[in-house]
Chain A
Amino acid sequence: MALTPRTTIPEEEYAYPGSTGCPGCGANLVMRYLLKGLGDRTIVTIPACCWAVMPGYWPSHCLKIPMVYCAFEATAASLSGIRAALDVRGETDVTVVGFAGDGGTVDIGLQALSGAAERQTDAIYVMYDNEAYMNTGIQRSGSTPWGAWTTTTPVGDAKGFKREPKKDIMRIMEAHDVPYAATVSVGHPEDFVKKVRKAKEVSGFRFIHAYSPCPPGWRMNPMKTIEVARLAVDSRIFPLYEIVNGDLTITRKGKGVPVSEYLSLQGRFAHLSEEDIAKIQIGVDEAFAAMEKRAATKN
């Protein structure tokens, strides 16, 4: 097919239609944009997560590049092994990618991830963050934000919604001195593909934190996936930035819309009172001010 001049991201597709992702799935888009950036000669290793079931029932597969299954906690161990095997065979041109959900990264897979980052394994680790264990039925994870409803943090008389803040995986990865770490969002595909290409050129352990809305888990209309992703950036709940050798650059500042615009689209935040929303707003503003301050003073 001829390349139409107006497409702002590569036209080549590395995924087949017919995956079992829910309508409006953000994780499908994360994989689509990731592979558009990396291109051919890539291997993805995937633990238990939504993407492990995406290829569908036997005998189908939905990617045009090899996809390896590994145990829930072993994504980074698996990518280390694949990298070592390819290096022994002299196939250093193949890009190895670990592709795990937020639960498989910030909770279950954290020790293997820390090990691979510390060894500076030459690979890319992508965490697609849908902010809970969505595949098993919306249980809270370390990456679920404060105030969110999940099936294990139910809302009712007990007011048991999640009371702990979201675990900041980017700060954990930064503490490992990784040469490249970036946040990307499905609402900004050009920025996404650009960062993935940049990550591909760096050697060592690279980490990408991808924002991936989940319509069933977030209790929202599937057609709002991109709108919510864009509002997350505009409200500065999920700022887009990259850390290259310790230097932080904010790549998309966002318009600074009130967080209530972002929260109101999702049923998982429907129970929050005005005081709760004000509390979230203060937290977001403080975190973004600190980030801007840091971006202004590069090492």
Chain B
Amino acid sequence: MTKSYEAIPLTPISSEPSTINKTGLWRVFYPVVDLEKCKKCTLCWKFCPDATIELVDGIPVIDLEFCKGCGICANECPAKCIVMVKEGEG
């Protein structure tokens, strides 16, 4: 009998990952990371609801194509190295 788990579609009638939805377009404020102040604590990565932060040697790299600009990373950063800047400014 064939294994069924592998045969189950990820979601019925879907074919593309949600990365086709560029949710960065929703953003009003965008995060700016001061890499000199970053303590590599990875808290911003841990609390990002959309998993848009990638860790490169512990340093956060935020994917602005998908970041919705909620600001959780800026609020939680213990080193206060992330600030939210209004789109079109800064």
Contact = CB atoms under 8 A, between A and B. Distances in A.
Interface of A: 1, 4, 6-9, 11, 13, 15-26, 28-29, 32, 41, 43, 55-69, 85-86, 89-91, 94, 186, 189, 215, 221-227
A227 B75 contact: yes
Contact of B51 (A32, A65, A86, A215): A32
A-B interface, 3 closest residue pairs, ranked by CB to CB distance from nearest? A223-B71, A24-B70, A61-B11
5 contacts: A17-B51, A18-B18, A20-B21, A25-B70, A222-B70
Contacts of B27: 23
B72 A64 contact: no
B90 interface: no
Interface residues of B, number: 48
B49 A91 contact: no
Given A89-B1, A89-B4, 11 more contacts: A1-B54, A4-B57, A7-B42, A8-B42, A16-B19, A16-B51, A17-B63, A17-B66, A18-B66, A23-B71, A59-B13
A62 B52 CA distance: 13
Nearest to A229: B47
Contacts of A85: 4
Interface string B40-77: 11100111011110110110000101101111101110
Contact of A223 (B8, B57, B63, B72): B72
Given A56-B21, A60-B20, A67-B11, A23 B40 contact: no
A94 B4 CA distance: 10
Given A24-B72, A60-B17, A222-B72, A29 B47 contact: yes
Contact of A23 (B9, B20, B26): B26
A8 B9 CA distance: 31
B22 to A, nearest CB: 7
Nearest to A33: B46
Give the interface centre of B23, B49, B58 by most chain A CB atoms within 10 Å. B49
A158 B46 CA distance: 43
Contacts of B17: 16, 18, 60-62
Given A9-B46, A17-B19, A222-B72, A43 B54 contact: no
B72 A61 contact: no
Contacts of A68: 8, 12
Contacts of A29: 47, 49
A4 B16 contact: no
Given A18-B23, A28-B49, A66 B9 contact: yes
A17 B50 contact: yes
Contacts of A223: 70-72, 74-75, 84
A173 B8 CA distance: 30
B71 A43 contact: no
Nearest to B57: A4
A4 B61 CA distance: 14
Nearest to B28: A23
Nearest to A82: B8
Given A18-B66, A28-B50, A223-B70, A62 B5 contact: no
B18 A189 contact: no
Give the interface centre of A4, A20, A58, A64 by most chain B CB atoms within 10 Å. A4
Contacts of A227: 75-76
